[in-house]
C-alpha cells in the first residue's frame, strides 16, 4: 500500500528541492518513491516528476484561455486539478511504490485554503496521507517569526486533519547557535516565551504562555526536525517519523 507525503510550506521554503532530495535519499535506502508535481505554474523543477499535473493543466495556458492574471489563474488551476483528479489518480494507481512524494503549489494558500485540496487528498486516500510541513529558516530564526510559523502550520493542520511532520528546511543556512535556539524554542514553550521577552516582543500582544501550552497539549506545537536537502542531513529522522506515523515504527527497508 502506497503512502502519500504532501510537502507543504511557504513560498521559497524548499518544497520542490526537498521532494527531489528525499526521493534520492529513499532510493539510496532501496525504498521506492514516486514524485508527483501538483503545481501547474511551476516554471522549472529540480527533478523530473514521475507524475506531472502540467500534463493536464498549465498555468500560462489557463491565463490565455480565460483572460486571467497570474493570481486568478492559479486559483482556477487549483480547482481544475480537483476536476481532473480521477485521471491523475488513474495514473498514480499504475505505479507500484512505497511512497508518493507530492510537491504542492509554491503558494501555500492554494493548497491550504482551497476546498479543491480536500478533494485531492480524499481521492488519493486520506487514511494513507501525511503532511511534511517545511518551516523557512529565515522566518523561524527569530522568536516572533517562529510564532508566526507555528500559527501557519496550525492552520494547515486544522484545514487538513492529517498526521503532521514538522521540518526545519535549509537548516544548514543557520549558524550553530541559531539552530540550537530554534530547536529549543520548538521543544519548550517556556523557552520561546522567554525569547519573545528578550526580543522585545510583548508576549501578551502576541500569545501568552498558556496559549503556547495549549497548542502543545493538543499536538499543534511540535519539535522542528532540522534537515538539509544539500546533504540529506535529518532525512533519517523524517523517515523514522513517517514510519512511526504509518507503520508504528516498522522499517520498510530491506535487511
Identify the structural domains of the chain with CATH numbers, from first to last. Answer: 3-247 (3.40.50.300)
Per-residue pLDDT of 82-125, as tens digits, reads 999 999 999 999 999 999 999 999 888 888 888 889 999 999 99
pLDDT for 205: 59
Q: What is the C-alpha R_g of the chain?
A: 19
Per-residue pLDDT of 6-41, as tens digits, reads 999 998 899 999 999 999 999 999 999 999 999 999
pLDDT for 196: 86
Does the model's pTM come out above 0.85? yes
**What SS3 state is found at 37?**
strand
Q: Cα dist. 237→70, 166, 195, 232, 233 in Å?
A: 37, 11, 26, 10, 9
Per-residue pLDDT of 47-63, as tens digits, reads 999 999 999 999 999 99
The percent of residues above 90 in pLDDT, for the chain, comes to: 66
Residues contacting 91, CB < 8 A, separation 6+: 51
Amino acid at each position: 500500500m502506497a503512502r502519500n507525503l504532501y510537502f507543504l510550506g511557504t513560498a521559497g521554503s524548499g518544497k520542490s528541492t526537498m521532494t527531489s532530495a528525499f526521493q534520492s535519499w529513499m532510493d539510496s535506502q532501496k525504498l521506492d518513491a514516486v514524485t508527483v508535481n501538483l503545481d501547474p505554474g511551476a516554471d522549472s523543477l529540480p527533478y523530473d516528476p514521475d507524475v506531472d499535473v502540467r500534463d493536464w493543466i498549465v498555468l500560462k495556458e489557463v491565463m490565455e484561455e480565460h483572460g486571467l492574471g497570474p493570481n486568478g489563474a492559479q486559483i482556477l488551476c487549483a480547482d481544475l486539478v480537483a476536476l481532473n483528479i480521477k485521471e491523475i489518480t488513474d495514473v498514480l494507481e499504475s505505479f507500484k511504490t512505497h511512497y508518493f512524494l507530492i510537491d504542492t503549489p509554491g503558494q501555500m494558500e492554494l493548497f491550504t485554503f482551497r476546498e479543491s485540496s480536500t478533494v485531492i487528498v480524499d481521492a488519493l486516500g486520506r487514511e494513507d496521507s501525511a503532511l511534511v510541513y517545511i518551516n523557512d529558516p529565515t522566518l523561524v530564526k527569530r522568536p516572533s517569526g517562529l510564532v508566526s510559523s507555528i500559527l501557519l502550520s496550525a492552520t494547515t493542520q486544522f484545514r487538513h486533519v492529517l498526521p503532521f511532520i514538522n521540518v526545519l528546511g535549509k537548516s544548514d543556512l543557520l549558524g550553530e547557535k541559531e539552530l540550537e535556539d530554534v530547536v529549543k524554542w520548538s521543544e519548550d514553550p517556556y523557552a520561546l516565551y522567554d525569547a519573545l521577552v528578550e526580543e522585545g516582543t510583548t508576549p501578551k500582544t502576541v500569545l501568552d504562555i498558556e496559549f503556547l501550552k495549549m497548542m502543545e497539549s493538543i499536538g499543534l506545537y511540535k519539535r522542528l526536525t532540522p534537515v538539509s536537502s544539500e546533504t540529506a542531513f535529518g532525512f533519517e529522522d523524517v523517515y523514522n517519523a513517517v514510519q512511526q506515523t504509518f507503520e508504528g515504527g516498522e522499517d520498510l527497508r530491506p535487511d
